[in-house]
Amino acid sequence: MQRREFIQTTAGLASGMLLLNSKAAFGYQANSAVRMALLGCGNRGTHVATSFSRNTVAQVVALADIFSDKLEAGRAHFDEVNATLGRAALDSKLLFRGPHAFEQLAASADVDMIQISTPPFFHVEHLQAAVAAGKHVYCEKPMGIDVKQAKRALEIAKRVRPTQSVDVGFQCRNAPPIAAIAEKIKAGALGKIASISAYYYAPASKEKLHPGAGADEYRLRNWLWDRALSGDILVEQNIHIIDLCNWILGARPLKATATGGRNILTHAGDCWDNYQVDFLYPNDVRVSFASKQFGDYDMFEAGLRLFGSEGAATIPYAGPVAIAGAQKWSWQDSAATSSATGKFAANGNFEDNLAFADRDKERTFIDSIVTGPVHNQIAAGVETALSCMMGRMAGLRHHEATWEELEAHGETYKLGMDLRQFA
Ligand SMILES: NC(=O)c1ccc[n+]([C@@H]2O[C@H](COP(=O)([O-])OP(=O)(O)OC[C@H]3O[C@@H](n4cnc5c(N)ncnc54)[C@H](O)[C@@H]3O)[C@@H](O)[C@H]2O)c1
């Protein structure tokens, strides 16, 4: 049996066993569905909710989106998914559209769990409504696009009830090869870690056109290009790699210096197309991070390399995941993959080392709801988001930024449009 198949099978069994043992730990009968809702029926949201449906006992029963075309596409898709799983079609009463859709969804008594997959600017506001309504929440990263939102998220974290579970969408931590190597590094396989070299080289994102869309709607549909809506590429996308640095080091950066800019992109929006950030972590650990997001040539690479006194670790999205040195080790399946085949996936549906990241993340989250113990990942999500914001701040002001300066003077962003026009 290939290691991948083995993990797939044992992970499924483990999940099933936990369910059988659960006996209504949090009000769920063993094997009864967790009634889930998708807020933001776009690319990533649809992928993740489909994966929840196929890999866990979660069943999509409700949808919400600001735009009717996205809601209708979501309905068609999940009716099909539910049909293939022998489940009922969506009830029209549980389809919510417009700028208040998130509140109507949160108020629904027919929903146990809400998956928030709206653009980053809205995450914290939508999280607040879902947590206040007592729902379990799976919220996409980032946990806020500015310091004000991040602090608000920390307040929300305090109000999560002891029976509520909240996850933040850092699925890379759950990718089996990454989870395995992280465990070894945390146990000391590299000796004293001195430095990390990390990178995220992505192609340009594609324009999303919609007939009759005005300027605000165009911005909303192309939120990835817009700093207020996305947080910029460092906070929105590169955050996965910074999160791995924080998680593996068990620390957050103390300060950052950065450069970057918009050297190639000429389309609408104000996000930079490249960043170079140097972070200083406790114990004098240096992290050098570089990213770009432009060009449509066939190339995507993301990952990190850690260097320590006893060994070095290589953790790419695609290609061998391995440790060199005194405790030499490699992940069996990744040795056969090549970084040259790395393909970008706008919905996060990566192959190679991330192939099972979403599935395992979702199973762990649903287990936390069904059997406990519950999760509350908001504060950890905020810490990583703030780390990225510190890099952005240092870049934008062309000057070193410390954590204390970020907390005191981090920039804030306004939406700059009235969503009531989409009622
Ligand atoms: N974890 C990952 O690997 C990963 C990968 C891709 C995207 N993401 C995250 O997922 C989220 C969604 O990204 P996407 O690529 O699916 O974007 P998308 O534009 O395809 O989807 C966003 C959806 O939200 C809807 N929406 C926008 N504003 C709304 C509002 N105020 N209320 C209700 N609905 C609203 C849009 O109409 C759209 O259907 C983002 O936060 C992004 O950072 C995570």
What is residue 31's predicted lDDT score, i.e. its pLDDT?
57
Residues with beta carbon inside 6 Å of ligand 1?
40-45, 65-67, 70, 101-102, 117-120, 122, 140-141, 169, 171, 220, 236, 346-348
For residues 175 and 361, what is the distance between their CA atoms, to the nearest angstrom?
8
For residues 420 and 246, what is the distance between their CA atoms, to the nearest angstrom?
39
Q: What is the pLDDT of residues 125-150, one digit of tens each?
A: 999 999 999 999 999 999 999 999 99
Distance 60 CA to ligand 1 centre (A): 17
What is residue 112's predicted lDDT score, i.e. its pLDDT?
98
Among the ranges given (62-76, 102-116, 350-364, 384-398), the one the predictor scored with the smallest mean pLDDT: 350-364
Q: Between the CA of residue 144 and those of 139, 154, 158, what are the distances in Å? A: 11, 10, 16
Distance 379 CA to ligand 1 centre (A): 21
Within 10 angstroms of residue 242's Cβ, the number of other Cβ atoms is 27
Please name the residue whose Cα sits nearest to atom 20 of ligand 1.
Answer: 42
Residue to mutate (ligand 1; options 43, 46, 68, 221; most atoms within 8 A of CB): 43
Query: DSSP per residue over 40-102, as a string?
Result: S-SHHHHHHHHHHHHHSSEEEEEEEESSHHHHHHHHHHHHHHHHHTT-PPPPGGGEEESTTHH
Q: What is the pLDDT of residues 241-263, one digit of tens each?
A: 999 999 999 999 999 999 999 99
**The pair of three-digit structure tokens given for residue 52, joined into one six-digit string:** 């929840």
Residue to mutate (ligand 1; options 65, 96, 174, 230; most atoms within 8 A of CB): 65
Distance 22 CA to ligand 1 centre (A): 33
- Average pLDDT of the residues of the chain: 92
For residues 266 and 273, what is the distance between their CA atoms, to the nearest angstrom?
10
Distance 116 CA to ligand 1 centre (A): 8
What is residue 28's predicted lDDT score, i.e. its pLDDT?
57
Atom of ligand 1 nearest to the CA of 74: 39
Q: Between the CA of residue 256 and those of 286, 393, 404, what are the distances in Å? A: 10, 9, 12
Core vs surface per residue 81-103: b (16+ CB within 10 A) or e: bbeeeebeebeeebbbbbebbbb
For residues 392 and 385, what is the distance between their CA atoms, to the nearest angstrom?
11
pTM of the predicted protein model: 0.93
**The pair of three-digit structure tokens given for residue 142, joined into one six-digit string:** 């980032």
- Beta carbons of 367 and 18 less than 8 angstroms apart: yes
Please name the residue whose Cα sits nearest to atom 11 of ligand 1.
Answer: 117
Band of residue 89 on the pLDDT scale cut at 50, 70, 90: very high
Among the ranges given (7-11, 98-102, 112-116, 362-366), the one the predictor scored with the smallest mean pLDDT: 7-11
Among the ranges given (45-54, 224-233, 290-299), the one the predictor scored with the smallest mean pLDDT: 290-299
Residue 22 has pLDDT above 60, yes or no: no
Residue to mutate (ligand 1; options 44, 100, 222; most atoms within 8 A of CB): 44
Average pLDDT value for residue range 80-109: 98
Max mean pLDDT among 146-155, 331-340, 351-360 falls in 146-155
Residue 238 has pLDDT above 70, yes or no: yes
Atom of ligand 1 nearest to the CA of 122: 31
